[in-house]
Amino acid sequence: MPGEPATERVRDLPDVRRERLLMRALQNRLLGPLVRRILGPQRIVEKGMAFWSARLVLTAVEAGVCTELADGPLPEDELRRRLGWHPRAAGTALDALVAAGLLRRDRSGRYANTLRSALFLDRTKPSYLGGLLELSSTRLYELWGGLGELLRTGGPAAAEEQGEDEFFAALYRDPTALREFLAGMTGISTPEATLIAARFPWKRFGTFADIGTAQGALPVRVALTHPHLRGLGFDLPVVGPVFTDYVSSFGLDQRIRFVPGDFMAGPLPTADVVSFGHVFHGSPERTRRELATKAYAAIPPGGAVIVYDAMTRPGRVDNYFSLLSSLNIMLETREGYESSTDDCVKLLHDTGLQRIEVRHLIGPTSMVYGFRPGRLPRS
């Protein structure tokens, strides 16, 4: 513009020399692939546009694509008819699911489940993890639209946390929403519970109590792995029928029972082992300490307390999903957050527990457990 200092106009111009050097590096037949891998924008684009993939997968899970394919391969027109999908987009979506590794397509054009999707996305199987994805689709996908407001104000986006309402109190008043939420929690907890059943020294104990048990993913996996154990799930009374149905489907009614109660309103049920799965992250520090103190009082000398959550692990570079999980719980609640494993170790130590161990489980989730001093009484 006339009248502007020459130095100001120069600042508005791109660095042509640098741009040419970058272009030549990207175009070079030998160095280009390496430069593109290090400096290329693809990873940024994939992260920023990840909602494309998420929406495809969530829609497929909601529609029950893998459940429809549970009995064997189907041609596109038959699968499309069962799903009620329009021919203009159905083929493209199904091929995208093939590219994503969730489906296979044979030479005749028939679609089939992969081994992974057959195991985890068929609603008729106990290993179904789609509850988490369905919860993500119906609730969390829209909730994340409030991230900007969270970053500006620190306040949650969940409708249940507006005004005087609280997330869990409001959620538990809606039977349909509650069942969806509990199924989602089972989707989160099942892989973790399967590993906890194998990686904690259960053989030395006889009883356990799972606090905030939801459908009972942990009690079921522990009982299936260790026939000598008897346990209970502790949660609000409204959860009872959902818990009972789930436990009964595994034939474990005689070894696992439901105990109604509010873990914030009184003492915890007694057992050799007390566990908290995805409970602490919804509460502030003072509440976590109160719960840990109650758990210490509920176990005998030699007993144990287990906490598992999507905790960050100090010194590790792969904390991305744990950090996203922390933002998610901040969107859901006023004071929740994901702690670090170090913070959890300190909390349990301050409560009086000893011989504290940290075990990474799967994905963002780690388990921290410790023992009350003394020897477990002989039964």
List, by residue number, the catalytic residues.
Answer: 281
CB atoms within 10 A of CB 153: 10
Rounded Cα distance, 336 and 255, in Å? 33
Q: Which of 325, 324, 295 has its CA nearest to residue 309? A: 325
- The H-or-E segment that residue 372 falls in is none
d(CA 298, CA 341) in angstroms, rounded, equals 23
The DSSP-derived string for 257-311 is EEEE--TTTSPPPP-SEEEEES-GGGS-HHHHHHHHHHHHHHS-TT-EEEEEE--
Two structure tokens written together for 82 = 């069962």
Contact 212, 277 (CB under 8 A): yes
> How many degrees, rounded to 5, is the angle at CA 178 between CA 275 and CA 172?
80
Beta carbons within 10 angstroms of residue 21's beta carbon? 11
Q: For 48-197, list the strands marked E by DSSP.
A: 103-105, 111-113
In sequence order, the 6+-apart residues with CB closer than 8 A to the CB of 116 are 101, 102
